[in-house]
Amino acid sequence: MKIPNPQPTALRRSKVAGLRSPLPTLRDRPGQTSSSITSGAEPSEKIVISGCDYLGLSDDAVIREAWLKASANGPLQTGASRATTGDHPLYRRAEKAIADFLNEPAAVLTATGYLASLAVAQGLRDQATHVVVDASAHNCVQDGARLSGLPILSFASGDARALRSVLSNLPPSARPLVATDGVYGIRGGMAPLNEYLLALPTSGWLWVDDAHGLGSVGATGRGSPEFFSLRDSRLIRSVTFSKALGVAGGAVIGDASLMEHVRTRAGAYLGSSAPPLAIAAAIAAAVVRVDKLPGRVRRLQELARRFSNALPSRPEILNDSRTPVTAIHPRDAAQAQRLTEALTQAGFVPPWIRYPGGPGGGFFRIALKATHSRSQMDRLSRAIRVGLNE
């Protein structure tokens, strides 16, 4: 599908703010709009509704200070794998902060969230016998499964009955590693983790890649396991801190013995240079910030519900009121163009993307932020209705 573009006249009359989002800063009150947003049909700057900065922490002053302090008071990075000579107290401090925040026994810090997923599969490949993958799991989970070298089976996304069917056909001695996203990042919605865990044999594990769940779901932003009230030693999480927590880096979290397997057997951990110290310091600060800003999490969830309730029920729209991500798959290029024009006229940067797992021709991926206002969400839902001729 051809990439839709705003009308040239609209582009001439308005300035797109690029990566600088003209949204409320941390100093603004909830619901207050930025001074750069003007009234009228076409605001002078466009509102960004893409990306993954769900809590608006990417420009948080406290996290920034932790980042800068670590950069100023030590080496930029340790220059080696942590398994050799590259360890540092800041890494261990970040791991403790992560584990404490998630109420789990242990955590292993990785340079990126993608590496965290690879490390899970590699760390458990001598424990598990099969990897059973939700069909909509992120590419990092799919790649991790392949790198494990174990037999891979797949089941229909979000379908616990299909999972049980696959598991029932495994030999009695099997120790399956069931792998899924917690929140599906490119279309929204959640995997039924409680049902997956019930389907799992006692000899298996449930691996949840919660890249898009951490910070955005659960009563206090502790992610998909918190949402489903899950506490189980068979639960393993991989996360990234580059989304709701606004930083970078990743981690694997779970039972201490399993984390030791990750440290001693995962090539993605053993063979990778440690992340910059500033990232470790910023992660430790970010989890504390989320813990101290429960109102930010609640606001994001309230906006997601408000936006979801205002959307029309259409086959093109993939939306779940529990999550901040909505996907719109236009029927054809003409509909994509109408949506682009409606969003542009209403003051939004049309979030048209191509991404693995989405339609090959592209789609709209809308991501809400806690720093959006209620009026912006109402305007966004109206623009979508206009673009769909509702």
145 & 213 share domain: yes
pLDDT tier for residue 2 given thresholds of 50, 70 and 90 = low
Residue range 18-25: average pLDDT?
A: 33
313 & 370 share domain: yes
Radius of gyration of the CA atoms of the chain, in A: 21
Residue 364: both structure tokens together = 């709209």
Domain boundary among 292, 326, 347: 292
Domain boundary among 292, 318, 334: 292
Residue 368: both structure tokens together = 């809400």
Task: Please tell me which residue, 29 or 189, carries the higher pLDDT value.
Answer: 189
212 & 253 share domain: yes
- For 11, phi and psi rounded to 5 degrees? -65, -35
Identify the pLDDT of residue 24.
34
Q: Which amino acid is at 168?
A: S
The whole model's pTM is what?
Answer: 0.89
Report d(CA 372, CA 54) in Å as an integer. 10
196 & 274 share domain: yes
Tokens 């309230």 sit on residue: 302
Report the share of the chain in percent with pLDDT over 90: 86
377 part of a folded domain: yes
Identify the pLDDT of residue 390.
81
pLDDT tier for residue 353 given thresholds of 50, 70 and 90 = very high
Provide the domain limits for residue 48: 8-55+294-387
Residues 289-301 pLDDT 10s:
999 999 999 999 9
Among residues 383, 373, 214, 211, the alpha carbon closest in space to that of 303 is found at 373
Identify the pLDDT of residue 292.
95
Average predicted confidence (pLDDT) for the chain: 90
Identify the pLDDT of residue 296.
97
Domain boundary among 244, 267, 292: 292
Q: What is the CATH number of the domain that holds 348?
A: 3.90.1150.10
302 & 288 share domain: no
Identify the pLDDT of residue 242.
97
The length of the chain, given as a count of residues: 390
pLDDT tier for residue 357 given thresholds of 50, 70 and 90 = confident
Counting the structural domains of the chain, the total is 2
Q: Helix 333-345 vs helix 374-387: angle between axes, to the nearest 10 degrees?
A: 150
3 part of a folded domain: no
Question: Does the pLDDT of residue 7 top 80, yes or no?
Answer: no
Q: Distance between alpha carbon 293 and the CA centroid of its chain, in Å?
A: 18
Q: What is the DSSP letter of 45?
A: B
- β-pair type (130-134, 152-155): parallel
Report d(CA 76, CA 151) in Å as an integer. 40
Identify the pLDDT of residue 43.
54
Angle of CA points 199, 205, 209, to nearest 5°: 100
356 & 335 share domain: yes
143 & 173 share domain: yes
Q: What is the DSSP letter of 350?
A: -
282 & 307 share domain: no
Identify the pLDDT of residue 74.
85
DSSP letter for each residue of 52-119: S-TTS-TT-HHHHHHHHHHHHSS-S--SSBTTTT---HHHHHHHHHHHHHTT-SEEEEESSHHHHHHH
Q: 167-205 in b/e burial notation, b at 16+ Cβ within 10 A?
A: beebeeebbbbbbbbbbbbbbbbbbebebbbebbeeebb
Question: Does the pLDDT of residue 105 top 90, yes or no?
Answer: yes
176 & 248 share domain: yes
2 part of a folded domain: no
Identify the pLDDT of residue 211.
98
Identify the pLDDT of residue 6.
54
Q: Which helix H or strand E contains 35, and what residues bound it?
A: none
259 part of a folded domain: yes
Q: How many CA atoms lie within 13 A of 319 on its CB side?
A: 23
pLDDT tier for residue 26 given thresholds of 50, 70 and 90 = very low
pLDDT tier for residue 18 given thresholds of 50, 70 and 90 = very low
What is the number of other CB atoms lying within 10 angstroms of the CB of residue 19?
A: 8
Longest Cα–Cα distance in the chain = 67
Residues 196-253 pLDDT 10s:
999 999 999 999 999 999 999 999 999 999 999 999 999 999 999 999 999 999 999 9
